[in-house]
Amino acid sequence: MSTTDAVTFWDGVYAGRPAAGNPQPNARLTETVTGLPPGDALDLGCGDGGDALWLAGQGWQVTAADISAVAVERLAALARSHGLGDHVITVQHDLNTSFPPGGFDLICAHYLHTPVDLDRATVLRSAAHALRPGGRLLVVDHGSAAPWSWQQDPGTRYPSPQEVAAGIGLSPETWTVERADAPRRIATGPGGRTAEVTDHVLLIRRAA
């Protein structure tokens, strides 16, 4: 799938559903970040923007990146309507070709899964290098598929957090794995449907 096709695919995903008026943050983000001093955050694959808006509401300065122009335009408007326009910068960005510039105290990549060819290890390695000293990279992947997910291939394999960390290939002298586990939770999907899902959670911290 080409970049143009990828943009078309993800624009179609977001345009095909109503804009979220009050998107909620991911549970793994709130449990990880609550209590941390706010700084500069990067949200990779921001989607509807629940994580970016929550972080901004906690005092973080957020750069929210997504390949979909529909997603970033909706989030920019939503941030303004929530009075958070000064705390959220939205950018349409193809991580296959470049990485958002700057240094960050927190980088989160929630469910950065796509049918498009994406060298995730390279993206996550770039994210780790973009951390400031003491900064954290939070990677949350699907460990199972919800019934409403676009990904319903029964042959899909979900790499463990330990495998993801090994694939990034970071020096333990500079980066420490603070968390690598597979908790379960009850997720809520379209129309209020619920299902138990597994998250693969990886938290990496750069040495201070």
Residue given tokens 């949350």 in the structure block: 140
Average pLDDT (84-104) is 95
Average pLDDT (43-70) is 97
Backbone angles phi, psi at 115, to 5 degrees: -75, -10
What pTM was computed for the model?
Answer: 0.92
> Virtual CA dihedral for 204, 136, 104, 133, nearest 10 degrees?
-90
Count: domains in the chain: 1
Strand-pairing partners, residue 197, are 185
Distance CA 66, CA 72 (A): 6
What pLDDT, on the 0 to 100 scale, is given for residue 192? 82
- Evaluate if residue 84 carries a pLDDT over 60: yes
What pLDDT, on the 0 to 100 scale, is given for residue 72? 96
Give pLDDT tens digits for 100-115.
Answer: 999 999 999 999 988 7
Distance CA 64, CA 91 (A): 6
Using CB atoms within 10 Å of the CB of residue 175, give its burial: 0 to 12 exposed, 13 to 18 middle, 19+ buried: buried
Average pLDDT (92-96) is 91
- Rg, Å, the chain Cα set: 16
Average pLDDT (170-179) is 97
Domain containing residue 201: 3-206
> Band of the pLDDT at 197, cuts 50, 70, 90?
very high
- 14 close to 98: Cβ distance less than 8 angstroms: no
Distance CA 105, CA 66 (A): 19
Average pLDDT (160-186) is 96
The token pair at 87 is 């705390």
> Band of the pLDDT at 117, cuts 50, 70, 90?
confident
- Evaluate if residue 155 carries a pLDDT over 80: no
Q: What is the CATH number of the domain that holds 88?
A: 3.40.50.150
Percent of the chain with pLDDT over 70: 97
Helix (H) or strand (E) holding 131: strand 131-142
